[in-house]
Amino acid sequence: MERVNPATGEALDPIEADDEAAVEAALATADEAFESWRDVPLAEREELLASAADVLRENEAEYAELMTAEMGKPLAAARSEVQKCAWVCDYYAEHAGEHLQDERVGAEPGVDSFVAYEPLGPILAVMPWNFPFWQVFRFAAPHLTSGNVGLLKHASNVPGCAEAIEEVFREAGYPEGVFQTLLVGSDAVDGIVEDDRLKAVTLTGSEYAGRAVAETAGAELKKTVLELGGSDPFVVLDDADVAAAAATGARARTINSGQSCIAAKRFIVHEDVSDEFVEAFVAEMEALDVGDPHEDVDLGPQARADLMEDLHEQVERSVEAGATVELGGEPLDRDGFFYPPTVLTDVPRDAAVAEEEVFGPVAPIFEVADETEAIALANDTDLGLGGSVWTEDRERGTRLAREIESGAVFVNELTKSDPRLPFGGIGDSGYGRELGKMGIHEFVNRKTVWVQDAEMPEDEPAGE
């Protein structure tokens, strides 16, 4: 697999891909490993997960450097990502037993009826490059601990991260085959999904990839969980703390150099505070440092040249449609794939940055007359992953949060994932949930068990 350092445009050492024989061997190993792994006591699986958290913390610098080299994440952010992976391991090491304990359901006197949560088997995780460790660990931490085994098909530009993640579990003491990496291209996914030994699939990626995997899995009657991106609204109402909204909004738009599914993608601002917000927001975006991700910067490069080109093409089409560039708007003239923080105003409702997911540090601002128009515009998308509402009235914020059609809404905070809370979307953003109690229940058999004493049938009445 070819790799390119996005900060320099220079090639990294390639990593050898797996052939069909290696994939077949991995599936056979996973199938065999599941038979014994499912019977390992839950307390032992929790202890192994806690050990994985220790391995992550011990090797934080190494894993962060690997992310920075392969996909350009600023080094400080990469270290934070490793820490978050350790956190999700800690969470399920502490709470998996609580989430997976039998749930008693009253039925009849003398009957013991309950729901048991049992693992399904080998699960394929198709994961993206933008959070190359976190996306994998939010799958692996709950679902390995519930007794499943994992097969990772990672994005082709982060194969080093994929290998490192497998090594984390190996160093933590997991048995052979409980977690394996498959270094294969997207063309191999259908065949893996169709294999009878595989029981379920989770994918984080594009809508196109999600539809393709769901179609194949559906034909095989296999469970899927999909997270397919977002076009998250960031709504600033007339009673908002504008300075706080602008400061947080700049972070919300540029986390991971703007390459986040739950980044703020559309800024919807009440006309009474629009001028004030634009001035403050542009100042916040302009103050962000862009540069070598090994340095103390806020933004690194875009992960690939084609991604930067696609982003700039969206900006150009939007400007042609009538948008005004307040800041940025052109790739930086330097080696690597750098795009600056960019702010667009006067954005037509049918412009590219309004109708398409924008995966980079580009912020379109839309002015609205009232909260009714704000909610209508917030919901004017097929993507429903996250959202943010800014108001000093908590009751108003709660009411409008309920009206936004998405998997999550944060009031006076940026949208974020948290091991303790369910994460996922609706509409074209996908279905199913990761994280929290709901997340660990996605890939288990919710088995109903009914137990009562055996009773002899009553004698039938004697005949005449």
Render pLDDT for 34-49 as a digit per residue (tens, 0 to 9): 999 999 999 999 999 9
Render pLDDT for 333-380 as a digit per residue (tens, 0 to 9): 999 999 999 999 999 999 999 999 999 999 999 999 999 999 999 999
- Percent of the chain past pLDDT 90, that is, above it, reads 98
CA dist 281 and 345 (Å) reads 11
CA dist 427 and 123 (Å) reads 24
Instruction: Give the residues across from 117 on adjacent strands.
Output: 446
Sign, CA torsion 198/204/205/206: positive
Quick check: 458 pLDDT over 80? no
Render pLDDT for 208-221 as a digit per residue (tens, 0 to 9): 999 999 999 999 99
Token output for 140: 């692996």
Render pLDDT for 291-318 as a digit per residue (tens, 0 to 9): 999 999 999 999 999 999 999 999 999 9
Q: What is the model's pLDDT at position 239?
A: 98
CA dist 365 and 459 (Å) reads 80
Q: Band the pLDDT of 464: cuts 50, 70, 90.
A: low
Mean pLDDT of 416-423: 98
| Residues forming the active site | 227, 261
Q: What is the model's pLDDT at position 455?
A: 81
- Percent of the chain past pLDDT 70, that is, above it, reads 98
Residues 6+ apart with CB under 8 A from 60: 79, 82, 83
Mean of pLDDT over the chain: 97
Quick check: 460 pLDDT over 80? no
Domains and CATH numbers, the chain: 3-228+429-450 (3.40.605.10), 232-411 (3.40.309.10)
Render pLDDT for 232-266 as a digit per residue (tens, 0 to 9): 999 999 999 999 999 999 999 999 999 999 999 99
CA dist 10 and 453 (Å) reads 71
Render pLDDT for 94-144 as a digit per residue (tens, 0 to 9): 999 999 999 999 999 999 999 999 999 999 999 999 999 999 999 999 999
Does 464 or 3 have the greater pLDDT score? Answer: 3
Q: What is the pTM of this model?
A: 0.96
Lowest mean pLDDT of 154-168, 174-188, 446-460, name the range. 446-460
Q: What is the model's pLDDT at position 456?
A: 59
Render pLDDT for 52-102 as a digit per residue (tens, 0 to 9): 999 999 999 999 999 999 999 999 999 999 999 999 999 999 999 999 999
Number of C-alpha atoms within 13 angstroms, CB side, residue 62? 12
Mean pLDDT of 442-452: 98
Please name which of 413, 379, 417 lies closest in space to residue 256, comparing C-alpha atoms. Answer: 417
